[in-house]
Chains A and B, each alone.
Chain A
Amino acid sequence: MKTLVFVIDKPLHGNVRAQEFLDMAMMAAAFDQRVLIVFEGDGAYALMKNQHADVIGLKNMIPVLNALAIYDINDVLIERESMKSRAISEDQLLIPADILSRCDIKSRMNAAGHVFSF
């Protein structure tokens, strides 16, 4: 089993990449790999409540985020510094995520077999 990290550093709605990117993470989980999803930088916005993708005619990605746990993807990390600099508080987060420092997230990534960037 390998540990694969998927780093999301942009908001989810804005292009089709998010959908294809999360497909990759779920496929990795379906292949029984250990999957970590990291939200950092503007990616912190991806985890916020009250997103309305239908307004800009894009597919709503929130059900996919909610489905991560079904795929046994429970290691969802969000960078504390990114939240702070964007004034995002824990109660604004859509799904449970571990809020970790940049330093802690980097050490988790260093221990992984491969890092996919968004």
Chain B
Amino acid sequence: MKISVQINASPYQHQTADTAWHFIQAALVSGHEVYRVFFYHDGIYNALRDSRPPGDERDIVKRWSELYRQSNIDLVVCVSSAQRRGLLEQSVAKKVGGYDKALADGFRIAGLGLLMEAVIDSDRHVTFGD
């Protein structure tokens, strides 16, 4: 089955990002295709490169970057959600004089069209976080 995932909540504050990550792992192990993970609303905070949790905690951002490295799953951060919350794509950051290294490895910033494409093309679209 082709599955796409949407994450609406920030990491650490809620269990959302953990549940979504475990769901994706289980889906991959079961032989499903995870087509895209779309980070929307406060979910964009999952893509902050400079997140540094204490050493004895799971590193949620790094875990997403590793997921991309291992499985090549498309990790897309919504551009308008991100800009509103201060996460800028490199070219935009350069243009407006903002911080241009905010985005962690494996993520890309794009528009809502990619969410809709994923919803339309996937057999299931699973949303995490309210």
B119 x A28 contact (CB < 8 A): yes
- Mark out the residues of chain A between 20 and 35 whose CB falls within 8 Å of any chain B CB in the assembled complex: 20, 23-24, 27-28, 30-31, 33
Q: With an 8 A cutoff between CB atoms, is B64 at the interface?
A: no
B61-83 contact mask (Cβ, 8 Å, vs A): 1 or 0? 00000000000000000101100
Count of chain A residues with Cβ under 8 Å from any Cβ of B?
16
Interface size classification for chain B: 10 to 19
In the complex, residue of chain B having the shortest beta-carbon distance to the beta carbon of A116? B127
Of the candidate stretches B19-27, B47-55, B108-116, the one touching chain A is B108-116
Q: A33-B120, A116-B127, A117-B127 are in contact. Are A24 and B81 (CB under 8 A)?
A: no
B125 x A114 contact (CB < 8 A): yes
In the complex, residue of chain A having the shortest beta-carbon distance to the beta carbon of B126? A114
Q: With an 8 A cutoff between CB atoms, is A17 at the interface?
A: yes
Q: With an 8 A cutoff between CB atoms, is B130 at the interface?
A: yes
A23 x B119 contact (CB < 8 A): no
Q: A16-B84, A116-B127, A117-B127 are in contact. Are A31 and B117 (CB under 8 A)?
A: yes
Q: With an 8 A cutoff between CB atoms, is B40 at the interface?
A: yes
Residues on B lying within 8 angstroms of A by beta carbon are: 40-41, 78, 80-81, 84, 112-113, 115-117, 119-120, 125, 127, 130
Given A20-B81, A24-B112, 18 more pairs with CB closer than 8 A:
A17-B41, A20-B41, A23-B112, A24-B115, A24-B116, A27-B113, A28-B116, A31-B113, A31-B116, A31-B120, A33-B116, A33-B119, A33-B120, A114-B119, A114-B125, A117-B127, A117-B130, A118-B130
Residues on A lying within 8 angstroms of B by beta carbon are: 2, 4, 16-17, 20, 23-24, 27-28, 30-31, 33, 114, 116-118
